[in-house]
Structure 1
Amino acid sequence: IISSARVTQINDVSPTVKKVCLKIEEEQMTFKAGQWLDFFIPALSTVGGYSMCSAPSQMLQNQSLSLAIKFSQHPPAHWIHNQCQVGSEVKVRVGGDFFYDPKPGQGDDLLLVAGGVGINPMLSIIQHVADLKSQGEMHENSVILLYSAKSLEELIFKVDLKQFCSMLLCSMFLYGRITQEVISSTLKEHFADSGRLQSYICGPSPMIDAMEQYLMSNGISNQQIHYEKWW
C-alpha cells in the first residue's frame, strides 16, 4: 500500500538528526515494530528508506508514525533537513522483514544492539513490548539494550528510552563502542538461558558484521540473530 502522508511535526533530536512525525491518509496501512518506510518526495526521483521509531499502536490509534533521519547528502535526507516543513506532502510505503511481532503469550528474551540512528527500530520494538505487557499479552522476559554512538549528544531518545526501560524493567547500557567483551559479559550476566534469546541489530554494516560474529562466538545461532543492513 502506498499512502499519502503529511508532515505534522519536525524537530531536532541531535545536531545531525531530525525527528519527523507523519499523519497517514490510508486507514488500512499498518506496520510491525522494527519495519521501515519507503519515503517518496515530490520532484525527487530518489526514494528514501527510514525505520519507524514509533510503536505500531500509535498508527492504530491515530494514523500517525514517527521517523528520525540523520543528515546526509543523500537527496531525501538532504530534503528533510533543508526543505521539509510542517504541512509538506509525501507518499510512504511500509516494507522490510526486520521486525519483532511475537504471538500472544510469547516471551522471548531480547538483546537489542543499536549504533547511531540504528536506535529507531529498537525504540519501536521496546515500545511495542511495553504495549504488549500492559495488555497482558506477553510473559515476563529480559530486555537488554546496548546503544552506541560517536558522541553523547548523538545518543538520541535517551529520555524516551529510560522511560520505557523503567516500565519494562529493561536495562540500557550506553557505549562509545560495543566490543566483544561487552557482548560476552552481557550474555553471561543477563541471559542464562540463551535458547530463549532473540537478538536484533541495527547500525552501520561493519558494526552489524562485528556484532553477529561476537554473538555467534558466544554460541548464539544464526536463527536467533536478526538485522537489516542500510549503509
Structure 2
Amino acid sequence: MPSDHTVDLLLVAGGVGINPLHSILMHSVDLLRLKNPNTPRQTHICYSAKNSKELLFKNSIIGVCQEFPDKFTCDFRVTQQEFEIEPDLQCYTSSGKISQEVLRPHVKPGRTLCYLCGPPPMIECVSRDLQCLGLSMDKILYEKWW
C-alpha cells in the first residue's frame, strides 16, 4: 500500500483475483475512517467475472462506494452473462471485458498506481492497455498465482 496520499489507486481483478484486491480496498477504507493522512486520494475497482453471480464481495464493494462516493468507485464487468443482471447491480455492471476504454477514465499517468490480480492472460492484456494509456510499468503491480 502506498504511503503517498496523492496517489489514485486502480484495482483491477479477474475472477477470484478479487481476494487480495478486496483486502487492499478494505485497508484503504480503514485508513479513511481513521483519517490517516496516507489514505489514497481516489480508489477505483474494476472487476470482471463470468456473470454477476460470480462477483465475489460485490455487496461489500458497493457498500464502500455508497458510503464514500467521492473516494471509492467501482465497475463490474461480466463476460458470459446468460440471465438478467440483478436490479441492485445494474448501475455498476456492464457486459464485456476490461478494455482501454473502461480503464481510460481511471488512469492518470504520474498519479495512478494499479494493482492487478487475475488470470495471467488478463493481466498481460490489461498491463499492455495500461501502458498504452501512459502508465509506466513501475506503477503496474501484479500477482500471477496460477
Q: Is this a same-fold pair by TM over 0.5?
A: yes
Encode CA deviations 1:146-199: one digit per residue, 9 max, x unaligned.
110011111111111111222332111111221232223x33xxx5x4211100
Q: Which amino acid aligns with 2:100?
A: Q
- Aligned residue pairs total 125
State the partner residue of 1:161.
61
Identify the range of structure 1 (197-206 vs 139-148) with the bigger mean alpha-carbon deviation.
Answer: 139-148
Structure 2 Cα separation of the partners of residues 122 and 209 of structure 1: 17
Runs of 4+ residues over 2 Å off in structure 1: 165-169
Alignment partner for residue 75 of structure 2, among 130, 148, 173? 173
Q: Which amino acid aligns with 1:210?
A: C
Alignment partner for residue 17 of structure 2, among 106, 110, 118? 118
Structure 2 Cα separation of the partners of residues 152 and 131 of structure 1: 27
Residues 151, 214 of structure 1: alpha-carbon distance in 2 compared, 3 angstrom cutoff:
same
Structure 2 Cα separation of the partners of residues 157 and 132 of structure 1: 19
State the partner residue of 1:224.
139
Q: Which runs of 5 or more residues in structure 1 are unaligned?
A: 1-99
Encode CA deviations 1:45-103: one digit per residue, 9 max, x unaligned.
xxxxxxxxxxxxxxxxxxxxxxxxxxxxxxxxxxxxxxxxxxxxxxxxxxxxxxx2x33
Once the two structures are TM-superposed, the CA of residue 139 in structure 1 deviates from its matched residue by 4.6
Once the two structures are TM-superposed, the CA of residue 107 in structure 1 deviates from its matched residue by 3.5
Higher helix share: 2
Matched, 1:134 2:33: yes
State the partner residue of 1:93.
none
Residues 140, 114 of structure 1: alpha-carbon distance in 2 compared, 3 angstrom cutoff:
closer
Structure with more contact order per residue of length (Cα contacts < 8 Å, sep ≥ 6): 2
Structure 2 Cα separation of the partners of residues 113 and 121 of structure 1: 11
Sequence identity (%):
40
Larger radius of gyration: 1
Matched, 1:198 2:125: no
Residues 140, 212 of structure 1: alpha-carbon distance in 2 compared, 3 angstrom cutoff:
closer
3-state SS of 2:110 partner: helix
Is the CA contact 2:5–2:41 (under 8 Å) kept in the aligned structure 1? no
Q: Which amino acid aligns with 1:123?
A: H
TM-score by length of structure 1 reads 0.51
Once the two structures are TM-superposed, the CA of residue 140 in structure 1 deviates from its matched residue by 5.8
Structure 2 Cα separation of the partners of residues 174 and 218 of structure 1: 20
Higher strand share: 1
Q: Which runs of 5 or more residues in structure 2 are unaligned?
A: 79-96
Is the CA contact 2:100–2:133 (under 8 Å) kept in the aligned structure 1? no
TM-score by length of structure 2 reads 0.78
3-state SS of 1:195 partner: coil
